[in-house]
Structure 1
């Protein structure tokens, strides 16, 4: 078993979200990986209120039990794959809030992106890259972008083009490689 731990963060809590089927697809492929242990981190399981910490997260002096639990969760991973829809040319507010809650726990780790939306979630990923740079996460080049028009059917079933299999494998390879290298930086 690898000592590398990667969280697949499901970044939407909206009722009827399509992210669950995308996360299932990613996790089914992640389970076949020998280079890292993957776990799903669903933001529904971490009901963080709008930022309520009295000090900036960069101080690392968390007060709320919910913040301490979130910090422990994020701190236990070496890298991340963010699954995000695109809402109004950006990421969901719940994902931004979750990122903003902690700071050092994100630092010097790697991330990849799986997005979906009317234009494949590409604008959300553009925003997310800038946000994650501010918390010192190195993001990899390979991303996956799924269209709500071509990768989902009318019933909401996720039916991505088989060519995405290779793109996902490439992203796993890149995130694992960077996460392993950055683990030495944190040591």
Structure 2
């Protein structure tokens, strides 16, 4: 079986975002394992309109060319790591929009979450996990939360995330879980296609 393909998705598009730092960090950690292919995906490259289709693409093909391109990218991966900020106790609107523009492409695949902010994106990640379950995904139990003083030191002072030991430990556990679920679900999708 070929190595599973994992997308690390930066879930915010705002100017001056912090997302690039944790996304590069978790991508590097995942690549260094040597047991998965990893690609960084930037939602800035998929400027979809706010969801305005007659129905989910599970029922009606999307009219937006960008949305169809996005759906193809989502379909090409076996699992996902969402790197997300927390906006007003929830996920960024651009991430929710990206989730809504695909449906069968997410199905029966695992996802993991890296959150950041004053409370480590905890509320956004809890909301994101519920969205992912509705999309028939399998969220990992473990996640990474870059929070409090560590978040502000990384944001304002440029403190390297590799200098924060507890998040590296959480990342290893999260990536172990993601790999297990990715392999299990990839095998199930291959051997039980059509069910």
TM-score normalised to the size of structure 1?
Answer: 0.93
Match of 2:172 among 166, 169, 172: 169
Contact 2:146 2:167 in 1 (8 A): no
Runs of 4+ in 1 over 3 A off after TM superposition: none
Q: CA deviation at 1:122?
A: 0.4
Distance 1:121 1:157 in 2: 19
Instruction: Give the corresponding residue for 1:63.
Output: 63
Which stretch shows the higher mean deviation, 142-151 or 89-98? 142-151
Contact 2:117 2:151 in 1 (8 A): no
Which stretch shows the higher mean deviation, 150-159 or 33-42? 150-159
Distance 2:178 2:113 in 1: 10
Pairs aligned (count): 187
Q: Unaligned regions of 5+ residues in structure 2, if any?
A: 191-195
2:117 maps to 1:114: no
Distance 1:108 1:37 in 2: 19
* Aligned-residue CA RMSD (Å): 1.6
| Structure whose residues are more often strand by fraction | 1
Instruction: Give the corresponding residue for 1:12.
Output: 12
Q: Unaligned regions of 5+ residues in structure 1, if any?
A: none
| Structure whose residues are more often helix by fraction | 2
**Which residues of 2 match residues 144-155 of structure 1 at below 5 A?**
144-147=144-147, 149-153=149-153, 155=156
Residues 41-66 of structure 1, C-alpha deviation per residue, up to 9 Å, x if partnerless? 11111111101323322215222211
Secondary structure, aligned partner of 2:149: coil
Residues 108-160 of structure 1, C-alpha deviation per residue, up to 9 Å, x if partnerless? 00011100011111000110011000000000111110115323426352433
TM-score normalised to the size of structure 2?
Answer: 0.90
Instruction: Give the corresponding residue for 1:85.
Output: 85
Distance 2:21 2:63 in 1: 35
Distance 1:137 1:74 in 2: 12
